[in-house]
Amino acid sequence: MAGVEDGEESLDAEYEDASALLDEINAEIEALKAAERDEVRERDALTARRDALQLGLNRKDGSSRLLSSDHPGVLGPLASLLRVEPGYETAVAAALGSASDAVVVADGAGPSPRCGS
């Protein structure tokens, strides 16, 4: 009878060890999934930033001249003035579309004579 009890205790101990190992592995899997989600968010943020910067390089209208002017009412390109909560970069970029290329001016700044207005 003692051999059966020893075998049962041994099986119980092995089960507990295996269960603890499984819990550790599951926790590691969840941590890796969370890290992957963070990396995807970071990639999306960098992609949206790159796209906004690329739009700035491709300006073909008067906005580049306006942005390079010394006019005190010009605050800068809209995309550079926005602060977007991580994870929402792609949605905001899609919602803004070409408006992300807009130039922001202070209220009442009026047109600059150097901009041809």
Q: Mean pLDDT lowest for which of 17-21, 22-26, 28-32, 60-64?
A: 60-64
pLDDT tens, position by position, 58-83: 666 677 777 777 788 888 888 888 88
Specify the residue for token string 């269960």. 19
Q: Are 109 and 74 in contact (CB under 8 A)?
A: yes
pLDDT at residue 117 in the model: 45
Strands 74-77 and 103-105, bridge-based pairing? antiparallel
pLDDT at residue 4 in the model: 64
- pTM of the model as a whole: 0.45
Residue extents of the structural domains in the chain: 2-115
